[in-house]
Amino acid sequence: MPKKNLDFFMTNNKIPPLPSLPQPSQPPAVQAAALSLDQVSFAWPGGQQVFDALSLQVRAGEFVAILGPSGCGKSTLLNLLSGFQQPAGGNIRINGNAVRPEMPELGYVFQSPNLFPWLSALDNVRFGLRMAQRLSAAEQIERAQSYLALVGLADAGHKLPHQLSGGMQQRVSLARTLVLEPSVLLMDEPFAALDAISRNAMNEETLRLWSKLGQTTVFITHDIDEAVFLADRVVVLDPAPGGIRGIVDIDLPRPRSLAATRRLPRFADYRNDLMDQITQATQSA
Ligand SMILES: Nc1ncnc2c1ncn2[C@@H]1O[C@H](COP(=O)(O)OP(=O)(O)OP(=O)(O)O)[C@@H](O)[C@H]1O
Ligand SMILES: [Mg+2]
């Protein structure tokens, strides 16, 4: 997490300061975009072309949502951004550096919480810290507990995943990613499996955490309302290998609450515009 964000987080949360993880050995180059795709092309082996000259820049601290028809390449895009897949052409940079797997500044949250069923919520959150072996056991526990509290589960640390609701499990999953203090957060339909009420709660939770921690966020979703509520910009993808159909700037006031934001006339305008774009994208397949 950038130091200014950590300072802000500490001064706005009544928890003791935590020891910082060592910073990446190479400081980020000075540049505007935290995340940049330049003329990226990609095809799965033996499969169809998914991207052909895709370019997109995401500013530091920006929240970008990605919408598009099923199979258009949203998850593939996240695979490329995470360095798990290499583009055939073009380049991808994270904070100015060529992306590679396991970059410490990258964090992922997937649709399924994928918690270790035999570990308590606290130990699930602590897991990455244990693997990194940079903090003492006491520091790991203190930090894991702080992030559990941050996602509203201060009292649930001792529980096993099967003792938690789906929404609570996804909160643990979020805390497990956030505890490693990524500056770039990649989320692939993280709340798609939740019921509508839990999903709404997690959307508000996501914005609350993002406003405290300030990560650059790329959030994949099928849900237009979710995209408009969360994002600074919504990117609509065409069926593969069409790339970007359109980008909509979401000029709605922050902080946002679902109840108030959904009632704004502009919310409906953005929603209708995006619905039209998705319909056109789907029909162009
Ligand atoms: N591991 C893989 N090997 C080969 N082809 C793949 C692989 N993963 C995805 N694809 C293909 O790449 C294209 C894009 O898939 P991707 O999973 O990125 O779509 P998506 O937009 O995330 O879809 P959804 O909304 O259904 O999650 C599809 O044609 C899919 O069949
Ligand atoms: Mg997908």
pLDDT in tens, 35-83: 999 999 999 988 789 999 999 999 999 999 999 999 999 999 999 999 9
Query: Which residues lie below 8 Å from residue 276, measured CB to CB, with a gap of 6+?
Result: none
For ligand 1, pick from 52, 54, 72 the residue to mutate: most ligand atoms within 8 Å of CB: 72
Is this structure's pTM higher than 0.85?
yes
> Is the distance from CB of 124 to CB of 115 less than 8 angstroms?
yes
Distance CA 85, CA 41 (A): 11
> Is the distance from CB of 207 to CB of 250 less than 8 angstroms?
no
DSSP-based three-state secondary structure for 272: helix
Q: Is 70 in the pocket of ligand 1 (CB under 6 A)?
A: yes
Q: Which domains does the chain have, with CATH numbers?
A: 1-10+33-105+182-285 (3.40.50.300), 115-181 (no CATH)
Q: Which atom of ligand 1 is nearest to the CA of 78?
A: 18
Q: Which atom of ligand 1 is nearest to the CA of 45?
A: 4
pLDDT in tens, 90-141: 999 999 999 988 888 999 998 889 999 999 999 999 999 999 888 999 999 9
> Residues 250-272: what's their mean pLDDT?
97
pLDDT in tens, 208-238: 999 998 999 999 999 999 999 999 999 999 9
Q: Which atom of ligand 1 is nearest to the CA of 73?
A: 18
